[in-house]
């Protein structure tokens, strides 16, 4: 039998292998797939890259981003939207992301256009979650799932005219229940944004009266929609989901109280996957970033990041994401009351996770890497991604775990142009990023030849 060499071999590194952890191994890649995990020097390859001293990780999967256009976070509208943000992803070691799409209009007529626009600029693979907000959305849900987007979002905080700034109508718990039933029937997954907005309206009016100029900053914003507002809504969504037999992905869990609510429902039998975001682990109401750190749910009191880190150590949190939004910094003008919520995070993903979790907290990679690879791949139906194993897509991040650098604007590739981590010292850096065996980032430099190589990935839940 004639032996054909691999297309590429990553030689001399330490690889994070499923079930084994860190092992000295070479990674051989053929036709965009991992063709072999080999002992050092084994196997032939057309191209060989020396990664001695570096750590080979499965490419990170960010299952929670918002790919938008300028100040609009509803959807990508030009290839450049994907071009800049997939560049940010590559710098952060992210090889697949799933973006939320929202519109008051039906999604079926724009589905192909969304895929085409994004693919034209994408350097990495991508998927979509669709925000379900109307009867038309509910009716087309089976089609969206059949076309490879089985995860649906409901903004539980959009009641009355709360969604007007996003162009979305209000819904209620009856709509939530019917959405859960439809998802259960068609093998879908709910991603609920959990906030009891009726209570938050009361609190907002009280807090605004007490601090009309927003001098309390992040603490003031937290007081308008505190952890119990999040915990209540998450309890309802996951309880109803147990009744309907629907899996739930608890997005951007920000507080110890919401975490406890999710764990109680999990213990009672609800199928709940718990996601948190980097910023809830690294920032709180005392952080110096001020209104730049405004986000929904808000940054919490210092005890909450500690509760989330403890849960990661116990294995109670399943995934970590960014909730990346790439509006420009001007959206933060006007203080805490006028600033728009959200900020970018893709550029910093693996460096921040490894610096804060591995170096500062001493958590082993076995506790951290599955949360951004195997777990989101499994939950989101990305069956060929998330692990370094033969036959999987060759989505790989090669990282220097002994780096020493300070985040500055020159490192930022998102068109937002800023980061909440600017000025911070990092102890990990992404050296190479490969998407399906192709270098997107090589020796720290983006390869623009990868633009357009990204593909829409059809997802189906197991």
Predicted confidence pLDDT, tens digits, the chain (462 residues)? 447 899 999 999 999 999 999 999 999 999 999 999 998 888 899 999 999 999 999 999 999 999 999 999 999 999 999 999 999 999 999 999 999 999 999 999 999 999 999 999 999 999 999 999 999 999 999 999 999 999 999 999 999 888 887 788 889 999 999 999 999 999 999 999 999 999 999 999 999 999 999 999 999 999 999 999 999 999 999 999 999 999 999 999 999 999 999 999 999 999 999 999 999 999 999 999 999 999 999 999 999 999 999 999 999 999 999 999 999 999 999 999 999 999 999 999 999 999 999 999 999 999 999 999 999 999 999 999 999 999 999 999 999 999 999 999 999 999 999 999 999 999 999 999 999 999 999 999 999 999 999 999 999 998
Distance, CA of 273 to CA of 63 (rounded, Å): 12
CA distances from 8 to 158, 212, 254, 273, 438 (A): 49, 60, 41, 36, 9
Q: Using DSSP bridges, classify how beta strands 324-325 and 26-30 pair: parallel, antiparallel or unpaired.
A: unpaired
pLDDT the model gives residue 165: 79
Are the C-beta atoms of 323 and 345 separated by less than 8 Å?
A: yes
Are the C-beta atoms of 333 and 422 separated by less than 8 Å?
A: no
Q: How far apart are the first and last CA of the chain?
A: 37
Q: Helix crossing, 135-146 with 173-186: angle to 10°?
A: 20
Distance, CA of 320 to CA of 192 (rounded, Å): 16
Separate counts of helices (H) and strands (E) for the chain: 14, 22
**Domain residue ranges in the chain:** 6-56+390-450, 59-380
pLDDT the model gives residue 306: 98
CATH, range 59-380: 3.20.20.140
The torsion angle over the Cα atoms of residues 118, 415, 64 and 33, rounded to 10 degrees, is: 50
Distance, CA of 286 to CA of 300 (rounded, Å): 9
CA distances from 164 to 185, 338, 356 (A): 30, 16, 37
CATH ID of 6-56+390-450, from 3.40.50.300, 2.30.40.10, 3.50.50.60, 3.40.50.2300: 2.30.40.10
């Amino acid at each position: 039998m004639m032996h054909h060499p691999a297309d590429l071999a990553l030689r001399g590194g330490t690889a994070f292998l499923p079930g084994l952890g860190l092992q000295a191994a070479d990674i051989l890649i053929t036709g965009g797939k991992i063709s072999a995990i080999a002992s050092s020097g084994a196997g032939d390859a057309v191209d060989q890259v020396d990664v001695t001293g570096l750590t080979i990780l499965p490419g990170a999967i960010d299952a929670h981003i918002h790919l938008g256009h300028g100040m609009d976070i509803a959807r990508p509208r030009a290839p450049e939207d994907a071009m800049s943000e997939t560049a940010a992803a590559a710098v952060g070691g992210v090889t697949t992301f799933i973006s939320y799409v929202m519109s008051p209009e039906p999604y079926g007529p724009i589905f192909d256009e969304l895929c085409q626009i994004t693919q034209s600029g994408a350097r990495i693979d991508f998927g979509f979650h669709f925000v379900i907000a109307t009867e038309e959305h509910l009716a087309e849900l089976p089609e969206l799932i059949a076309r490879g987007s089985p995860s649906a979002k409901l903004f539980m905080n959009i009641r009355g005219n709360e969604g007007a700034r996003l162009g979305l109508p209000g819904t209620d718990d009856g709509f939530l229940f019917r959405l859960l039933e439809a998802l259960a029937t068609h093998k879908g997954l709910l991603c609920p944004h959990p906030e009891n907005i009726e209570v938050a309206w009361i609190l907002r009016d009280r807090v605004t009266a007490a601090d009309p100029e927003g001098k309390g900053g992040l603490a003031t914003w937290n007081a308008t929609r505190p952890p119990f507002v999040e915990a209540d809504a998450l309890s309802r969504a996951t309880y109803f989901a147990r009744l309907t037999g629907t899996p739930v992905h608890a997005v951007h869990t920000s507080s110890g109280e919401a975490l406890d609510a999710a764990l109680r429902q999990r213990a009672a039998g609800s199928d709940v996957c718990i996601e948190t975001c980097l910023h809830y682990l690294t920032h709180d109401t005392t952080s110096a970033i001020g209104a730049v750190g405004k986000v929904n749910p808000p940054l919490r009191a210092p005890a909450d990041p500690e509760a989330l880190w403890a849960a990661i150590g116990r294995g109670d949190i399943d995934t970590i994401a960014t909730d990346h939004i790439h509006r420009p910094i001007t959206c933060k003008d006007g203080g805490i009351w006028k600033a728009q919520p959200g900020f970018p995070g893709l550029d910093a993903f693996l460096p921040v996770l490894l610096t804060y979790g591995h170096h500062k907290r001493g958590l082993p990679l076995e506790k951290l890497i599955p949360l951004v690879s195997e777990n989101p791949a499994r939950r989101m139906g990305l069956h060929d991604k998330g692990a370094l194993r033969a036959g999987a897509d060759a989505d790989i991040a090669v990282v220097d775990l002994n780096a020493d650098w300070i985040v500055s604007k020159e490192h930022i590739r998102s068109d937002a142009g800023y980061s909440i981590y600017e000025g911070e010292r990092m102890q990990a850096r992404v050296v190479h990023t490969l998407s399906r065996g192709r270098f997107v980032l090589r020796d720290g430099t983006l390869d623009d030849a990868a633009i357009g190589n990204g593909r829409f990935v059809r997802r189906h839940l197991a």
